[in-house]
Amino acid sequence: MTIVAVCAASGSAAATTTSVALASMLPAGYPALLAECDPSGGDVASWAQQSSSPGWSSAVSAGDRSWTAIADNSQRLPSGLSVLATPARAAQAHTAVGEAAREFAGLLAAAPDVVTIADCGRVGLDAPLFAMPAQLTLLLVRQSLVSAPATVARVDRAIEALGVLRATCRQVGVVLIGGAPYRSAEIAAALGAELFGVLSEDVAGAALVAGGWTVGKRASRSPLAKAAATLGERVVEAIYGRDHRSAQLWAVGAVS
pLDDT tens-digit map of 159-174? 999 999 999 999 999 9
Angle at 53 between CA 10 and CA 4, to 5 degrees: 40
Helix axes 184-191, 148-166, angle to 10 degrees: 40
Is residue 1 over pLDDT 60?
no
- Decide if 12 contacts 176 (C-beta within 8 A): no
Confidence bin at 245 (pLDDT 50/70/90): low
Mean pLDDT of 182-199: 94
Structure confidence at residue 256 (pLDDT): 37
Structure confidence at residue 233 (pLDDT): 94
The number of C-alpha atoms within 13 Å of 192 and in the hemisphere containing its C-beta is 7
- Rounded to two decimals, the pTM is 0.91
Confidence bin at 250 (pLDDT 50/70/90): very low
Structure confidence at residue 243 (pLDDT): 67
Which phi and psi angles does 103 have, rounded to 5°? -95, -25
pLDDT in tens, 192-240: 999 999 998 877 777 777 664 554 556 677 888 889 999 999 999 998 8
Cβ-in-10-Å burial (0-12, 13-18, 19+) of 96 comes to: buried
Mean pLDDT of 11-28: 89
- What is the distance between the alpha carbons of residues 107 and 234, in angstroms, rounded to a whole number? 24
Confidence bin at 179 (pLDDT 50/70/90): confident
pLDDT averaged over every residue in the chain: 87
Mean pLDDT of 118-134: 96
Domains, the chain = 3-241 (3.40.50.300)
- Decide if 12 contacts 230 (C-beta within 8 A): no
Which phi and psi angles does 182 have, rounded to 5°? -105, 150
Is residue 252 over pLDDT 70?
no
Mean pLDDT of 115-131: 96
What distances in angstroms separate CA 44 from CA 14, 173, 181, 236, one per listed residue?
A: 12, 24, 31, 23
- What is the distance between the alpha carbons of residues 56 and 35, in angstroms, rounded to a whole number? 9
